[in-house]
Chains A and B, each alone.
Chain A
Amino acid sequence: MSENAQDLYKALSDAVVGMDEDRACELSIEAVERGFDAYTTIERGLVDGMGRAGDLFESEEYFIPELLLCSDAMYAGLDILRPHLKVEDANQQRFKVVIGVVEGDTHDIGKNLVKIMLEASGFDVIDLGRDIPAQKFVDTAVLEKADIIALSTLMTTTMDAMAEVVEKLHKNNLRESFKVIVGGGPISSAFAKRIQADGYANSAPNAVKLVKQLVGVPA
């Protein structure tokens, strides 16, 4: 058992970085049992650990497999802690991102990483999945009153589907309602500019920085 709250947060953060899902669960249960604030435990334990994992990913000490296992540990802890959030913490207004892989493509690892890192950074993420028609992005963003639409593809054949989303927004006079960001293997800043997206990021950690910049949250 951890001596005090600080130790527990640190141990929980370490469990996430160490890809130790069981340990993350144990510590999250312990936090609940000892009456620690769920929000603080999430922020200083789970989210802190995922942030450190993201740093290791950026410095190429961690790769996709490690990052996914860290996120498994984070989500396992979140499942335990979330029901114990105070009402005002649980209902806190957060910026909302609708994310998905565009129609014609099923490669979703990149999209999943961006989703994980966004959630770990306090964004609400609505994950539509893969092979998603343009209209679905628009409809969901409207319905959910999203701030950001994030589009992913790994294939050159489906890049045009990204442009289609932007065009649909234009046609429906919704272009100013959402920021659109794009990413994936064949995508570049030049491409993002050409289809009039609001931004491009070349990695999941950079996607978080980009989203923060677009909605005006300090990095």
Chain B
Amino acid sequence: MSAVDLMTPLERFAAFGKGEAIDRLPCVPIVGNTAARVIGVKVSQFRGNGRLIADAQIAAYRRFGYDVIRIFTDLYTQAEAMGARVHYPEDETAYLAEPAITSVEQIGSLEPADPRKDDNLPHHLEAMARTQDAVGREVPVNGALTGPFTTASFLIGTGTLVRLMLRNPEAVHRLCEVALQSSLAYAKAILETGCTPSLTDAMCSTTVISPRQFREFGQPYLKRLIDFIHTQGRAVTLHICGKTHAIWEQMCDTGADCLSIDNAADLAEAKAKVGTRARLMGNVSPSEVMLQGTPHAVRSAVRECVGKAHDNPKGLIVASGCSLAVETPFENIDAMLDSVRELGWPIQKRELEAAWTA
């Protein structure tokens, strides 16, 4: 029998931020298209249907009781609104079919997206507004915003972009700049719905580019975007996939208030390195544990995360290392929340160990 939540997510975060008593640690299995399974629709039905995305996300939040709703279907919405072609399988997450342009000469033809008009952006904004209206008084509602460097890679193709970084850095900066202008306009529109933009810059991972390249092409654009969101009084979460240990300091330099880290990185190490600068969020493996594991494996993984970083100076949000796969079993999502509920707060080391070996 698991403990029951005594606070709403907003109450929990407010108390957590002030260092006051809470009922349990915040917990965020990052639910994207899995929400389609909660209301029994196909993933492709989300396309161009803000009301359905909102219905699904609200239902998923109510079903699992996690602490942040994130309106997200895929990383391509901004790139698509700037001309990239996205393929929508009937019941799986969309993927990039063709970049918007194929050569440096075409960069000048790119224009920042208009979030009120272009492709799926208005529908995502509608989903954010509806979700915010329905449950925004009890739970933070975030709008997913893809980082400028990652969007740039979708605009010209990753292989081309990474070669240009060394061959023609100025062209990459032009691409990042136009992607940033899209991101800024979209961030503004997201804020107007009452939601908070939450950033993902997948391609900035050191699995792909070097820390020095992140400093040149990733960080400056993220910083400008985050500076803008901060002027609107909102805290920002920054997620970068894959390996990131060599850029945690730089991720903090962007101004991000919370770093969401992948299971390819270590929470204890992150705590030691940047725990006084940023809240940490992570990092149960979405694939090995959440998708393919058992509820028991989820419990062990949650305890490992909590054991490593519950005493992070800026706080810990127990989360999946990345967005969950569509078919993630509900019992594994329940297990994640339940184990956080069982551990309660403050975390007792003894309980953590006992529970671990149980």
Contact surface of A with B, Cβ cutoff 8 Å: 19, 60, 62-66, 68-69, 72, 104-109, 112, 155-159, 185-188, 190-191, 194
In this complex, how many residues of chain B approach chain A with their Cβ under 8 Å: the count is: 31
Among A63, A68, A159, the one with the most B-chain Cβ atoms within 10 Å of its Cβ is A63
B95/A155 in contact, CB under 8 A: yes
A142 to B318, CA, bound (A): 47
State whether the Cβ of B181 lies closer than 8 Å to any Cβ in chain A: no
Q: List 28 A-B contacts (CB under 8 A).
A: A60-B246, A62-B210, A63-B209, A63-B210, A64-B162, A64-B207, A64-B208, A65-B166, A65-B209, A69-B166, A106-B96, A109-B158, A109-B162, A109-B208, A155-B93, A156-B286, A157-B325, A158-B92, A185-B241, A185-B242, A185-B287, A186-B286, A186-B287, A186-B291, A188-B287, A190-B292, A191-B288, A194-B292
* Contact in complex: A112, B159 (CB < 8 Å): yes
Contact A104 B163 (CB under 8 A): no
What A residues does B120 contact at CB under 8 A? none
What are the residues of chain A within 8 A of B166 when measuring CB–CB? 19, 65-66, 69
Contact B292 A191 (CB under 8 A): yes
Closest 5 CB pairs of A and B: A186-B287, A156-B325, A65-B162, A63-B210, A157-B92
Consensus secondary structure, chain B interface: mixed
Contact residue among B89, B210, B241, B292 (Cβ-Cβ distance under 8 Å from A104): B89
Chain B 314-349 per-residue mask, 1 if CB under 8 angstroms from chain A, else 0: 000000000001110000000000000000000000
Taking a contact as CB atoms under 8 Å apart, the answer to whether A190 and B288 are in contact is yes
Q: How far is the CA of A191 from the CA of B287 in the complex (A)?
A: 10
Question: Nearest Cβ in chain B — how far from A196, in angstroms?
Answer: 15
Q: Which of A72, A157, A190 is the one whose CB lies under 8 Å from B93?
A: A157
With a cutoff of 8 Å between Cβ atoms, the chain A residues found around residue B326 in the complex are 157
Chain B, Cβ-Cβ closest to A203: B207
Say yes or no: B163 contacts A68, CB within 8 Å: yes
B213 at the interface (CB under 8 A from A): yes
Asked if B206 contacts A63 (CB within 8 A), the reply is yes
The distance from the CB of A119 to the nearest CB of chain B, in whole angstroms, is 16
B97 at the interface (CB under 8 A from A): yes
B residues 272-290 touching A (CB-CB < 8 Å): 286-288
Q: Which residues of B contact A62 (CB under 8 A)?
A: 210
Report B204 CB to chain A, min CB distance, Å.
11
* Residue ID in chain B nearest A110 by CB atoms: B207
B210 proximity list for chain A (CB < 8 A): 62-63, 65-66
Q: How far is the CA of A186 from the CA of B207 in the complex (A)?
A: 13
Decide yes or no: A64 and B209 within 8 Å by CB, A156-B287, A156-B291, A186-B287 being known contacts. yes
B59 interface residue, CB < 8 Å from A? no
* Alpha-carbon distance between A62 and B326 when the two chains are bound, in angstroms: 34
**Complex interface residues of chain B between 41 and 100 (CB less than 8 A to chain A):** 87, 89, 92-93, 95-97
Q: Kindly identify, within residues 194 to 253 of chain B, every residue whose CB is under 8 Å from any CB belonging to chain A.
A: 206-210, 213, 241-242, 246
Residues of B within 8 A of A112 (CB): 159
When distances are taken between beta carbons in the complex, the residues of chain B under 8 Å from A159 are: 287
Which residues from 87 to 138 on chain B have a C-beta closer than 8 Å to any C-beta of chain A?
87, 89, 92-93, 95-97
Least CB separation from A65: chain B residue: B162
* Separation of A157 and B94 alpha carbons in the complex (Å): 10
Q: Note all chain B residues with C-beta closer than 8 A to A191.
A: 287-288, 292
Shortest Cβ gap from A206 to chain B (Å): 14
B185: CB under 8 A from chain A? no
Give chain A nearest CB distance to B289 CB in angstroms: 10
Given A109-B158, A156-B287, also A72-B163 (CB < 8 A): yes
**Smallest Cβ-Cβ distance to B324: which chain A residue:** A156
Residue contact B95 to A65, C-beta cutoff 8 Å:
no
Residues of A close to B288: CB separation below 8 A: 186, 188, 190-191
